[in-house]
Amino acid sequence: MNIIESIYQRKSIRKFTDQPVKREDIVTCLEAACQAPSPKHQQNWKFVVIQNKDLICQIAKIVEERHQKITECAKDERLKEKFSKLMRYYTLFKGAPVLVVVYAKPYAMIEERILATQDIKDEIIDQIKATQSAAQAVGAAVENFMLAATHLGYGTCYMTGPAHAKSEIESLIGTVSEEYEMLSMIAMGVPVEGTADKPARLPLEEVVHFID
């Protein structure tokens, strides 16, 4: 399978078998993740790999409890029902043999440091920070991880929803450093047979504009 085939075959997998994932395969995916580009080469990512099933279930319970609290805050019944239905998607990782918790540290912007010493309007600095460079770097690393996993025959699911409980999750598993905070998760494992097809993508005409 070449890289183009991996791109087209990768899809979000939400159901996994109990088959364990080889440690060397996880390492291969992590090494691929760390080959991703990052703004100013800051490599602002860290990964915590969890294979302890009890711990994964504890994390899922934390996410479930947080999700329920947010649901109860909704005054609009339609929003409450809609958000409540997302619970199973936010906790699907409890069925995965591997959970990778992805951390990021803030992106150190030289521009912000320069402008902070001047009488610059906040909206100008906000505009510079709007690129969300830290998240873009982590997203690139996660994509590399998932493509490597696809190449090796595994399924993955990239998840940001559970981050609404990141404080509780970090308290449970510990933080990697004071600089870093949880940004997302990757569920990984051998997919069950008959998983859903990959959703259709928007046609290029809707998302691409050429300037000759």
What tokens appear for 82 in the block?
A: 């809609």
Q: Tell whether 41 is covered by a domain.
A: yes
Q: Tell whether 206 is covered by a domain.
A: no
Q: Tell whether 111 is covered by a domain.
A: yes
Q: Tell whether 209 is covered by a domain.
A: no
pLDDT of residue 178: 86
For 138, other C-beta atoms within 10 Å of its C-beta total 25
**Residue 158 belongs to what H/E stretch?**
strand 155-159
In DSSP notation, 45-79 reads EEEEEE--HHHHHHHHHHHHHHHHHHHHH--SHHH
Range of the domain at 42: 3-193
pLDDT of residue 110: 74
Q: Total structural domains in the chain? A: 1
Q: Tell whether 84 is covered by a domain.
A: yes
pLDDT of residue 171: 93
pLDDT of residue 147: 98
CB 112 within 8 A of CB 103: no
pLDDT of residue 126: 72
CATH code where residue 187 lies:
3.40.109.10
Q: Tell whether 199 is covered by a domain.
A: no
CB 176 within 8 A of CB 103: yes
> With a cut of 50, which residues of the chain have pLDDT below it?
none
Q: Tell whether 200 is covered by a domain.
A: no
Q: Tell whether 208 is covered by a domain.
A: no
